[in-house]
């Protein structure tokens, strides 16, 4: 039963690639946004917070459709990127990564924001009195202390990205070898006669990946507490 | 030389203090809530005065009329807080070296050794702050501030969080610091006995105003 076929491997590896790229590209943006939301007060902050969380509450098919309108070949941003930088998202695995990145962004940002909020700001003041410019304070005090939260956010974002389905299939369709991730492969298999065994195998792979990510996130969270107590 | 002439409104509390310090250790004395911490925070640049000037060794670090406010990190003013505020993710040696790295100072092994010997922290270098006692933490904080080579050292109730026994443990180090470290200090305390031992000049603060100023005799 557990003989994973080449086609299934393709879907698994594509899912991993899409989720890893989505997470790595989203992380710097996530850290910047988490810091902004945790540390700065500005006009439109609650609006920005709401927009970040939007993919969590919108039907995924709506998010996918909005991505298609914006980043498709004829979309405002997509057209520009394709014509000037040669970056194409529609019906490519890069588009799947974009969809996964957007869908997982709220989950990625949240632990980062919480861990930055938990840092004692008086430590940052102490760093300033020792001659650290604000950006050095960020890289030598804030970020190292927030690191377990940053990693937890990355793990959760990755887990969400690897399971994303609705926005991805709407935006980049379900093309084996290009945009067919584990989720869309399962979707195709359960509509195919005799596809049950293969679907079952991919379901088990999904569960293992998701569980592993949750356990890792939990472990990072515990490390964060120990780190903040200076042990 | 330190010249301070500032005003600051903090909610209901108004602080208006003016003094010139020339001694090796200016003792800032007053009950809790007198505005001592706000005043040293302004000297450090952590708090911005509403009006006034702060001048250190001829350099204006704050002048509200002229729009001057040198940020904390450029002031070269050391600060030892009541709670040591050591960086929990760094060990003692890394904490001690932090200021030197941030200010891009060349390594100074002689000073490094002198400070470590002066404060008796040589055996703690590999430890994390979480594994230090309160007194040890405060000694490391003193060393960390000194090794950044400040022009002025602010000490805000550095013994405040310690019990009597620990205070007696740290006090001799502070006396040695005053006599050997060659850094002018502003020492904040609500404890007259402490200041009698350490300060060379007293600024007495009451409800946000300087009420007396002079030698240690004003504490009597």
Distance CA A19, CA B6 (A): 56
Q: State what percent of residues in chain A have pLDDT above 70.
A: 98
- Residue A31 pLDDT greater than 70, yes or no: yes
State how far Cα B144 lies from the chain centre: 12
Distance CA A215, CA B7 (A): 54
- Residue A231 pLDDT greater than 70, yes or no: no
Going across the sheet that includes B59-63, the strands are B68-69, B59-63, B51-56, B2-10, B13-21, B209-214, B201-206, B25-29, B185-189, B152-156, B77-80
Angle at the Cα of B85 from the Cα atoms of B84 and B88, rounded to 5 degrees:
120
Average pLDDT, chain A: 91
Question: Which residue is closest to A148 within chain B, CA to CA?
Answer: B89
- Return the pLDDT at A1: 56
Residues of chain B with pLDDT under 50: none
**Beta bridge pairs of residue B28:** B188, B203
Cβ-defined contact of B83 to A141 (cutoff 8 Å): no
- Which of A:117-176 have CB within 8 Å of B? 120, 122-123, 125-134, 136-137, 140-141, 144-145
A123 contacts in chain B (CB < 8 Å): 85, 87-88
Distance from CA of A144 to the nearest CA of B (A): 7
Confidence of residue A53 (pLDDT cuts 50, 70, 90): very high
Cβ-defined contact of B73 to A123 (cutoff 8 Å): no
Residue pointed to by tokens 């005043």: B39
The answer to whether the beta carbons of residues B56 and B152 sit under 8 Å apart is yes
Cβ-defined contact of B144 to A130 (cutoff 8 Å): yes
Q: Which of A124, A129, A146 to mutate to test the interface with B (most CBs of B within 10 A)?
A: A129
Cβ-defined contact of A122 to B85 (cutoff 8 Å): yes
Tell me whether residue A1 is in a domain: no
Of B12, B138, B8, B6, the C-alpha closest to B81 is B138
Contacts of B20 (CB under 8 A, 6+ apart): B1, B2, B3, B4
Distance CA A161, CA A71 (A): 18
Cβ-defined contact of A229 to B88 (cutoff 8 Å): yes
Buried b (16+ CB within 10 A) or exposed e, B197-220: ebbbbbbbbeebebeebeebebbe
Of A130, A137, A144, the CB nearest to B89: A144
Tell me whether residue A15 is in a domain: yes
Please report, to the nearest 10 degrees, the dihedral formed by the alpha carbons of residues B210, B212, B214, B218 taken in order: -140
CATH superfamily of B19-36+78-219: P-loop containing nucleotide triphosphate hydrolases (3.40.50.300)
Q: Which of B73, B84, B129, B147 to mutate to test the interface with A (most CBs of A within 10 A)?
A: B73
- Return the pLDDT at A5: 87
Contacts of A134 (CB under 8 A, 6+ apart): A128, B73
Distance CA B103, CA B135 (A): 27
What is the average pLDDT across A1-8?
81
ipTM over 0.90 threshold:
yes
Cβ-defined contact of A230 to B130 (cutoff 8 Å): yes
CATH of the domain at A67: 1.10.3720.10
Buried b (16+ CB within 10 A) or exposed e, A181-202: bbbbbbebbeeeeeeeebbebb
- Return the pLDDT at A230: 61
Question: Which residue is closest to B79 within chain A, CA to CA?
Answer: A129
Of A150, A179, A133, A138, the C-alpha closest to A40 is A138
Confirm or reject contact between B140 and chain A (CB < 8 A): no
Distance from CA of A47 to the nearest CA of B (A): 30
* Mode of pairing for the β-strands spanning B59-63 and B51-56: antiparallel
- Return the pLDDT at B165: 79
Of B76, B87, B128, the CB nearest to A141: B87
pTM, 2 dp: 0.87
Cβ-defined contact of B145 to A130 (cutoff 8 Å): yes
User: What CA–CA distances, in Å, run from B119 to A35, A123, B111, B180?
Assistant: 37, 22, 12, 11
Tell me the residue range of the domain where A21 lies.
Answer: 6-41+59-228
Residue pointed to by tokens 């001592």: B36
What tens digit of pLDDT does each residue of A89-130 get? 988 999 999 999 999 999 999 999 999 999 999 999 999 999
Phi-psi region of A31 (alpha: psi -120 to 50; beta: other; left: phi over 0): alpha
Confirm or reject contact between B89 and chain A (CB < 8 A): yes
- Return the pLDDT at B168: 82
- Return the pLDDT at A229: 67
Q: Residue A212: how many CB atoms within 10 A of its CB?
A: 13
Confirm or reject contact between B143 and chain A (CB < 8 A): no
Tell me whether residue A109 is in a domain: yes
Distance CA A15, CA A13 (A): 5
Count of domains for chain A: 1
Distance CA A124, CA B41 (A): 14
Tell me whether residue A124 is in a domain: yes
The answer to whether the beta carbons of residues A189 and A152 sit under 8 Å apart is no
Confirm or reject contact between B81 and chain A (CB < 8 A): yes
User: What CA–CA distances, in Å, run from A68 to A73, A100, A151?
Assistant: 8, 13, 30
């Amino acid at each position: 039963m557990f003989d994973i076929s080449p086609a299934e491997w393709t879907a698994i590896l594509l899912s991993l690639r899409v989720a890893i790229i989505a997470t790595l590209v989203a992380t710097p943006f996530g850290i910047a946004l988490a810091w902004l939301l945790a540390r700065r007060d500005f006009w439109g902050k609650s609006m920005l917070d709401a927009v970040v969380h939007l993919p969590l509450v919108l039907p995924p098919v709506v998010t996918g459709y909005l991505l298609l309108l914006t980043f498709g070949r004829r979309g405002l941003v997509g057209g520009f990127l394709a014509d000037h930088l040669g970056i194409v998202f529609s019906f490519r695995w890069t588009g799947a990564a974009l969809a996964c990145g957007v869908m997982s962004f709220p989950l990625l940002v949240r632990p980062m924001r919480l861990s930055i909020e938990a840092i004692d700001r008086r430590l940052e003041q102490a760093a300033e009195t020792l001659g650290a410019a604000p950006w050095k304070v960020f890289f030598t005090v804030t970020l190292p202390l927030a690191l377990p939260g940053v990693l937890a956010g990355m793990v959760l974002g990755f887990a969400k990205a690897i399971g994303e389905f609705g926005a991805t299939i709407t935006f980049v369709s379900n093309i084996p070898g290009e945009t067919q991730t584990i989720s869309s492969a399962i979707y195709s298999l359960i509509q195919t006669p005799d596809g049950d065994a293969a679907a079952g195998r991919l379901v088990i792979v999904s569960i293992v990946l998701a569980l592993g990510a949750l356990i890792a996130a939990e472990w990072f969270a515990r490390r964060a507490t120990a780190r903040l107590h200076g042990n | 030389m330190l010249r301070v002439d500032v005003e600051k409104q903090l909610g209901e509390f108004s602080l208006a203090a003016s003094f010139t310090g020339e001694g090796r250790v200016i003792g800032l004395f007053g009950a809790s809530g007198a505005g001592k911490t706000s005043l040293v925070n302004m000297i450090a640049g952590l708090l911005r005065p509403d009006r006034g000037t702060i001048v250190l060794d001829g350099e204006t670090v704050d002048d509200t009329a002229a729009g001057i406010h040198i940020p904390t990190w450029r002031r070269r003013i050391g600060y030892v807080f009541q709670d040591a505020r050591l960086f929990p993710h760094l060990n003692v040696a890394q904490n001690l070296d932090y200021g030197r790295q941030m200010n891009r100072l060349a390594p100074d092994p002689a000073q490094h050794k002198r400070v470590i010997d002066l404060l008796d922290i040589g055996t703690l270098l590999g430890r994390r702050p979480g594994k230090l006692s309160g007194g040890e933490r405060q000694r490391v904080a003193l060393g960390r501030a000194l090794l950044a080579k400040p022009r002025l050292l602010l000490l805000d109730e550095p013994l405040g969080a310690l019990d009597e026994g620990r205070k007696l443990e740290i006090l001799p180090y502070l006396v040695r610091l005053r006599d050997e470290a060659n850094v002018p200090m502003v020492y904040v305390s609500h404890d007259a006995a402490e200041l009698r031992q350490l300060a060379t000049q007293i600024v007495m603060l009451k409800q946000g105003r300087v009420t007396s100023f002079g030698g240690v005799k004003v504490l009597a």
